């Protein structure tokens, strides 16, 4: 009797709880894993030996030409529908296999298809694989991501359910067919597209243009567009927003071959309904020679503004002109950027640039552009102080003296410490005293200096250890933390 009781207790203690998990929970766990790791779980339990054949998400990374893993998995797959089918291929000898895998995905009514063709050894994209037209009429597709393949302009496209597309190196004629054949497309991400001339869609809600070197003028006509992001792009001619009345969020960080004040004014007019805006260096360069009255209040709905400012090109008048466009601004983020070339000529001492702050106060005769400003965040401040000390302090002085409801001005570090961002205690005290002396339009405004201090912290940089410290200036709890 006692031995029987002990056996019963032992069976309870070593009960196989993994086998008791419902299929829906197992599938949820599998959704976070690559398929190669999913298949390995078959050793955990007899019941799990076949569960992987019914998963809805298939994610493959192929590194070797002789690897039969993908074909083996597809051969044993039992579920009638595939929700996600991801292929990340690092070799260039899988052309015929890719077509057969695409055909499998179509037969299983794939909803999300991702194809990434990349030669891992040289980090270059394939040039000799032309995209198979098998998916061009797949009505089940909802999300599609394509990297590293060519496209034939002669093939028609019909993606009646497609809502999200990310595509690389697509030509203007192919993109036109895609937009015409995708009536419910909401998100479009273009990468490295040189020859695109026009983006016209009545369904797009979000447009992202990444790393494009455009040889032709680009025109955007998207009446329902709500979010536009142009990043690390360069336009030899121009970029124009023809129609985008619903645009609420815009990120314009691009380069242009020639300065064009008319184009900037036109862009500002098209952004008049946007509430969140990011401007890159090119826009600030063009804004510099403009008169405040030419751009004043043109972005009346903007509540949040981010500015990417190369330190060597930083000037207070350009930022003052930008502020003049945003009379209802509540949050301002300024990111001073320092290139590797710029870093070679910095001086470790606080320097003066013979800037005459009085020459900038012409903005005072217009409506104050900072009357609603509550929060200011500045990155790269310490590096900018080394190069353009008086000019950056003029900016800070202006903001503190004209922002009547300002709550916080935060001087932030970048995530990793840089030589030009590390300041010693003496220089930090000089900065704090200078900031403390400035008049503040808001009695509640606090200046918060986050800075790197070498010590016993967790962050490592060139053999040293750095911790983030905080100094509050103009606050009832001011002091070092």
Structure tokens at 157: 């496209």
* pLDDT tens-digit series, residues 413-423: 776 555 556 77
pLDDT tops 90 at residue 195: no
pLDDT digits (tens, 9 = 90+) for 80-97: 999 999 998 876 666 678
pLDDT band at 287; cut points 50, 70, 90: confident
Of the pLDDT bands very low, low, confident and very high (cuts 50, 70, 90), residue 298 is confident
pLDDT of residue 466: 67
Report the pLDDT averaged over residues 438-442. Answer: 92
Residue 354's pLDDT band (cuts 50, 70, 90): very low
pLDDT tens, residue by residue, 242-259: 999 999 999 999 888 776
Which pLDDT tens digit goes with each residue over 49-58? 888 889 999 9
Whether pLDDT at 353 is above 60: no
369: pLDDT strictly greater than 90? no
| Per-residue confidence (pLDDT) for residue 119, from 0 to 100 | 54
For the ranges 23-27, 137-141, 304-308, the lowest mean pLDDT is seen at 23-27
Do 269 and 298 contact (CB within 8 A), yes or no? yes
Mean pLDDT on 198-207: 96
For residue 28, pLDDT beyond 50: yes
In this predicted structure, what is the pLDDT of residue 8?
47
The pLDDT of residue 379 is: 93
Contacts for 78 with CB less than 8 Å, ≥ 6 apart:
50, 53, 54
Neighbours of 88 (CB within 10 A): 17
Confidence at residue 348, expressed as pLDDT on a 0 to 100 scale:
40
Top mean-pLDDT range of 8-12, 68-72, 305-309: 305-309
The CA distance from 50 to 311, in Å, is 59
Note the Cα 93 to chain centre separation in Å. 33
Mean pLDDT, residues 154-175: 92
pLDDT at 314 over 80: yes
% of the chain at pLDDT higher than 90: 40
Are the beta carbons of 391 and 409 closer than 8 angstroms? no
Nearest to 222 by CA among 191, 259, 185, 256: 185
Reported as a single tens digit per residue, the pLDDT across 35-71 is 888 888 888 888 888 888 899 999 998 887 777 899 9
What span, in angstroms and rounded, lies between the C-alpha atoms of 267 and 302?
14
Instruction: Provide the pLDDT confidence category of residue 352 given band limits of 50, 70 and 90.
Output: very low
Q: Using a pLDDT cut of 70, give the percent of the chain over it.
A: 79
pLDDT at residue 122 above 50?
no
Give residue 95's pLDDT: 64
pLDDT band at 455 (very low <50, low <70, confident <90, very high): low
* pLDDT of amino acid 445: 92
Q: Choose among 63, 1, 51, 60: nearest CA to 24.
A: 51
**The predicted structure's pLDDT at residue 464:** 52
pLDDT of 350 reads 39
Mean pLDDT for 278-282 is 89
What pLDDT is attached to residue 476?
47
pLDDT of residue 421: 66
Residue 460 pLDDT level (bands cut at 50, 70, 90): very low
Average pLDDT over residues 159-171: 94
Q: Is the pLDDT of residue 478 over 50?
A: no
């Amino acid at each position: 009797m006692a031995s029987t009781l002990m056996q019963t207790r032992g069976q309870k203690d070593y009960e196989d709880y993994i086998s008791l998990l419902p299929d829906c929970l197992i599938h949820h766990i599998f959704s976070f894993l690559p398929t190669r790791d999913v298949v390995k779980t078959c050793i955990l339990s007899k019941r799990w030996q076949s569960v992987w054949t019914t998963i809805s998400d298939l994610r493959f990374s192929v590194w070797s030409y002789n690897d039969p893993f993908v074909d083996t998995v597809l051969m044993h797959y039992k579920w009638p529908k595939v929700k996600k089918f991801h292929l990340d291929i690092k070799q260039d000898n899988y052309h015929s296999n890719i077509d057969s895998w695409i055909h499998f995905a179509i037969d299983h009514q794939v909803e999300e298809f991702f194809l990434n063709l990349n030669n891992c050894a040289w980090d270059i994209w394939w040039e000799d694989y032309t995209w198979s037209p098998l998916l061009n009429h797949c009505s089940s597709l909802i999300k599609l991501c394509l990297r590293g393949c060519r496209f034939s302009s002669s093939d028609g496209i019909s993606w009646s359910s497609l809502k999200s597309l990310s595509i690389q190196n697509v030509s203007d004629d192919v993109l036109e067919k895609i937009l015409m054949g995708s009536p419910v497309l909401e998100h479009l991400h273009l990468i490295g597209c040189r020859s695109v001339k026009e983006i016209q869609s009545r369904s797009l809600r979000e447009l992202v243009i990444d790393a494009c070197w455009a040889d032709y003028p680009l025109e955007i006509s998207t009446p329902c567009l709500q979010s536009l992001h142009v990043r690390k792009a360069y336009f030899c001619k121009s970029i124009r927003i023809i129609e985008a009345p619903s645009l609420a969020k815009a990120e314009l960080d691009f380069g242009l071959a020639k300065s064009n004040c008319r184009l900037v004014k036109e862009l500002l007019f098209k952004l008049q309904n946007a509430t969140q805006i990011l401007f890159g260096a090119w826009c600030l360069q063009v804004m510099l020679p403009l008169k405040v009255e030419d751009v004043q209040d043109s972005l009346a709905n903007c509540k949040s503004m981010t500015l990417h400012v190369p330190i060597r090109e930083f000037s207070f008048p350009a930022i003052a002109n930008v502020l003049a466009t945003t009379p209802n601004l509540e949050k301002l983020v300024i990111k001073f950027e320092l290139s590797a070339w710029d870093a070679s000529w910095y001086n470790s001492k606080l320097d003066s640039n013979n800037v005459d702050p009085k020459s900038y106060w012409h903005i005072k005769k217009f409506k104050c552009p900072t009357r609603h400003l509550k929060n200011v965040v500045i990155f790269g401040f310490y590096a900018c102080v080394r190069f353009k000390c008086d000019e950056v302090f003029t900016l800070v002085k202006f903001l503190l003296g004209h922002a009547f409801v300002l709550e916080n001005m935060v001087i932030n570090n970048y995530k990793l410490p840089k030589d030009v961002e590390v300041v010693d205690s003496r220089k930090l005290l000089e900065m704090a005293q200078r900031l403390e002396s400035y008049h503040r339009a808001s009695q509640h405004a606090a200046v918060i200096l986050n800075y790197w201090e070498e010590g016993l912290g967790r962050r490592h940089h060139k053999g040293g250890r750095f911790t983030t410290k905080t100094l509050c200036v103009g606050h009832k709890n001011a002091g070092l933390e």
